[in-house]
Structure 1
Amino acid sequence: MSTQHGENNRSIDRDRLLKRMSDARESGDGKQVQGALEEAKRWLSDNHVGDNSVRDAQFRLLRAFPPLR
């Protein structure tokens, strides 16, 4: 049961992150975009490397708002 509960929590957290990334992209607010990208980077580095939905959203954000160099 605890494994199921952990998976449900991870799924909820992923959905919240995807929503945050979508909202940031729609708003165009640089701070929201940067915060969402930082959270996505943490999410992917915390053993969620194969999470394609987060990776796809991250790609869309970076494409819409390329980092300043």
Structure 2
Amino acid sequence: MKVTSMTAAASLSFQPDDVDVLAGALYAWCAERNIKLRSQQGLSIASIAIDLYHAGHHTQDDLLVALHERELH
């Protein structure tokens, strides 16, 4: 539960452009894999995308590459 609370609190500090980048990457990722965004898998990847964004992947392309690399490992 702490992770969820921390992620929720961190997401409140995003600017509109940040949300656009995250949403764009997440929608593209889920669409490519036929994953419903509100499924458990979709929510899990959203959490990972937020972590990757905080780690410095600040464009949609960078996020998609990082998500792909994470999937391969």
TM-score above 0.5, yes or no: no
Question: Between Structure 1 and Structure 2, which shows a larger proportion of helix residues?
Answer: 1
- Normalising by structure 2, we get a TM-score of 0.35
